[in-house]
Chain A
Amino acid sequence: MATEIQEIDLKTDEMIINMGPQHPATHGVLRLLLTLDGETVKHVEPVLGHLHRAQEWQGQNRTWFQYQALIDRVDYLSGMFTSWAMARSCEQIDGTVVPPRAEYLRVMVSEMNRITSHLLWLGTYLIDLGAMFGFPFYPFREREKLFDLFEEIAGQRMMFNYIRIGGVLRDPKPEWFDKLKRFLDEFPDRIDEYETIVTQNPIFLKRTKGVGILTQAVAKDYGVTGPCIRSSGIPLDLRRTKPYSVYPELKFDVITFDKEGDTWDRYMARILEMRQSIEIIRQCIDKLPSGDIMGKKQMAGMRIKAGEGFAAVESPRGILGCYVISGGGEKALRFRWRNPSFCNLSVLHELLKGCPLSDIMAIFGSIDVILPDVDR
């Protein structure tokens, strides 16, 4: 006998869940206000500023020399790039000519820094996806080797303060290059190792394929940059589209995927970028000219000419810009950072709309946000 199916209008309420600021997967102190309908995310509002350390305010209140040391903390995973952005904008104003050897060294250390940044992202992203303590040991092993190299030239593991206005701090010894070459020889095998574990892993594929699709229109609307937008098929890579430093002399291609990028694509873009960085560093070692490494005298009372400049570099997270207004004095009149994480994070609510609760961390992790880069 036919049973009559009665349709009942079930009243459902939206639920607001607070995630963070203390949450192991938010890579710092981000707070997300999630509006949930059952398991589905309706709306996300990121609450920023839990790590607002007033970097821009510090820029106006410290001398140029002092502030150079501070800005590694703007984006602590890629301190070379923040230093580089500041150095470039100040050199633009000042008209400083950077010696070619210094430019090559800058490219080298920055690409090394890009590798360490992506390695850390890889480790923590797998933690986000649930591979707690197991996989992360692999990328951290290589990170330590790069840190040893950094320590040798800059004296610090993370806060390098190596790229200075006008050049670089120290010329590496010849042995350093040998060590670096040895690392570069073994590193491709290590990437293969990660890929064996991760890339075709069925669980990883299920968590990432087709999840968090970033369309080109949305990406352009929100000013997303870096691997996120390149994996969506827009070849916006400052190293090629607006080449700076010695990048025009180096051979490499922009990595893009010719479709709408999902989470897996963003993962793959970073893996490919690491391989690309190896090649760039190799070319730099081969082409490295001899000569001076500093074009401006480094001293506590350093001054920059009056004027304003904006310079951008392609950091591991996207376009990192630095807008400086100098009055000709010992301190800047205004420092303004254009942070890739800040802009990439603003697209989060578009990506999360309608996705299940369990995908939040997979998507959030894939855009690779660093909180001091957001909050400054």
Chain B
Amino acid sequence: MTDEKPSEAEKPEDKKAEAAKPEAAKPEVAKADGAKPADAAKPADAAKPAAPAAAAAPKPAAKAPEPVIPATAGKFEQFLKEHGIPAQRLPLSLEVETIVLSGDVLQAALRLLRNSSEVKLDLLLTISGVDSNDTYDSVYHLWSYSNLDELVIKVLIKKSDVAEGDLPAVPSIANFWSAANWHERETYDLMGIRYANHPYLRRILNPWDWEGYPLRRDYKQLVDCLNDKNPHSMR
């Protein structure tokens, strides 16, 4: 990390430069919003992360104003493509660039993003698991210690690809950040995403032999004499 105090002079400009992007992205969000919940739209066009060119072609969906990829391709998307890693920018990103990667290239992409001198995304903020409509997402929020860059990486796994009784698998990134260790354990615990190559993939918050993954949509809550509440009875 640079040791100089961040100077006030350059900061507003940086902010503005970043703020310019969302202005471009916002109208689309609003449009998508009108057609149907944008969240439903996201997994649909993110479903084929390996083929970024194909994804740009509009799908024959019901909504006419199909969200297009912004004209100015994202900085990190560009960077990754230069190094031969297929990345696809999500139009949904509000203020932060959001890209979709396939699980196979996650390790290579993170090695680049973390270590290269031009992009130094070396602060892993959090790893979240999301149960979207038809995908399980593993979401990585990356920041930098030395500049103002932010990046959100999503790895989407189609629910239809996950075999019955199996867990969606994503490569672990605990070899890059020790911080990822606990975040991945937590996501495994609550969302049931299995991180391959994780050093110690056990449940962290719930007891070790807990059944089910509580934050999934199809989770059936345990009912016994300690907690017999029907969760939907009140609201």
A254 CB to nearest B CB, Å: 7
With an 8 A cutoff between CB atoms, is A325 at the interface? yes
Pair B39/A54 contact, Cβ less than 8 Å: no
With an 8 A cutoff between CB atoms, is A49 at the interface? yes
Pair B206/A306 contact, Cβ less than 8 Å: no
Contacting residues of chain A (48-76) with chain B, CB-CB under 8 angstroms: 48-49, 52, 54, 56-57, 60-63, 66
Q: Mark A316-340, 1 if CB is under 8 A from B, else 0.
A: 0001010101111100011010100
With an 8 A cutoff between CB atoms, is B29 at the interface? yes
With an 8 A cutoff between CB atoms, is A289 at the interface? no
Q: Mark A231-244, 1 if CB is under 8 A from B, else 0.
A: 00111100011110
Chain A residues positioned under 8 Å from B165 (CB to CB): none
Pair A306/B177 contact, Cβ less than 8 Å: no
The secondary-structure label for the interface of chain A is: mixed
Q: Mark B125-154, 1 if CB is under 8 A from A, else 0.
A: 110101110000001010001001000100
Contacting residues of chain B (19-66) with chain A, CB-CB under 8 angstroms: 26, 29-30, 32-33, 37-40
B178 CB to nearest A CB, Å: 5
Pair A334/B206 contact, Cβ less than 8 Å: no
Chain A residues positioned under 8 Å from B205 (CB to CB): 48-49, 52, 375-376
CB contact under 8 A between A328 and B123, given known A62-B235, A223-B177: no
Q: Which residue in A54, A221, A236, A306 is a CB contact (below 8 Å) of B1? A: A236
Pair A307/B139 contact, Cβ less than 8 Å: no
Interface centre among B40, B141, B178, B206 (most CB of A within 10 A): B178
B-side interface residues, number (CB < 8 Å): 50
Pair A305/B126 contact, Cβ less than 8 Å: no
With an 8 A cutoff between CB atoms, is A310 at the interface? yes
With an 8 A cutoff between CB atoms, is B167 at the interface? no
A223→B178 CA distance, assembly (Å): 8
With an 8 A cutoff between CB atoms, is A87 at the interface? no
Q: What is the interface residue range for chain A against chain B?
A: 35 or more
A346→B184 CA distance, assembly (Å): 12
| Nearest opposing residue in chain A for B179, CB measure | A223
With an 8 A cutoff between CB atoms, is B102 at the interface? no
Q: Which residue in B33, B122, B181, B186 is a CB contact (below 8 Å) of A328? A: B33
Pair B38/A248 contact, Cβ less than 8 Å: no
Chain B residues positioned under 8 Å from A99 (CB to CB): none
With an 8 A cutoff between CB atoms, is B101 at the interface? no
Q: Which residue in B12, B95, B203 is a CB contact (below 8 Å) of A248? A: B12
Q: Which residue in B26, B39, B145, B152 is a CB contact (below 8 Å) of A327? A: B39
Pair A312/B125 contact, Cβ less than 8 Å: yes
| Nearest opposing residue in chain A for B176, CB measure | A221
CB contact under 8 A between A338 and B1, given known A54-B214, A61-B231, A307-B92: no
Contacting residues of chain B (207-233) with chain A, CB-CB under 8 angstroms: 207, 214-215, 231
B126 CB to nearest A CB, Å: 4
| Nearest opposing residue in chain B for A59, CB measure | B215
A258→B4 CA distance, assembly (Å): 12
| Nearest opposing residue in chain B for A54, CB measure | B214
Contacting residues of chain A (186-237) with chain B, CB-CB under 8 angstroms: 216, 220-223, 233-236
Q: Which residue in A63, A223, A307 is a CB contact (below 8 Å) of B125? A: A223
Contacting residues of chain A (332-354) with chain B, CB-CB under 8 angstroms: 333-334, 336, 338, 342-343, 346
CB contact under 8 A between A333 and B190, given known A321-B126, A323-B128, A338-B125: no
Chain B residues positioned under 8 Å from A285 (CB to CB): none
With an 8 A cutoff between CB atoms, is A92 at the interface? yes
CB contact under 8 A between A221 and B177, given known A306-B33, A307-B29: yes
Chain B residues positioned under 8 Å from A216 (CB to CB): 1
A48→B4 CA distance, assembly (Å): 38
Pair B5/A222 contact, Cβ less than 8 Å: no
Pair A333/B39 contact, Cβ less than 8 Å: yes
| Nearest opposing residue in chain B for A375, CB measure | B205
With an 8 A cutoff between CB atoms, is A308 at the interface? yes
Pair A234/B1 contact, Cβ less than 8 Å: yes
CB contact under 8 A between A327 and B37, given known A48-B205, A52-B205, A334-B128: yes
Query: What would 17 A/B residue contacts be, using CB atoms closer than 8 Å?
Result: A56-B215, A92-B94, A222-B178, A223-B177, A236-B145, A240-B6, A254-B6, A305-B30, A306-B37, A307-B29, A307-B92, A309-B95, A310-B141, A334-B131, A338-B126, A342-B182, A346-B181
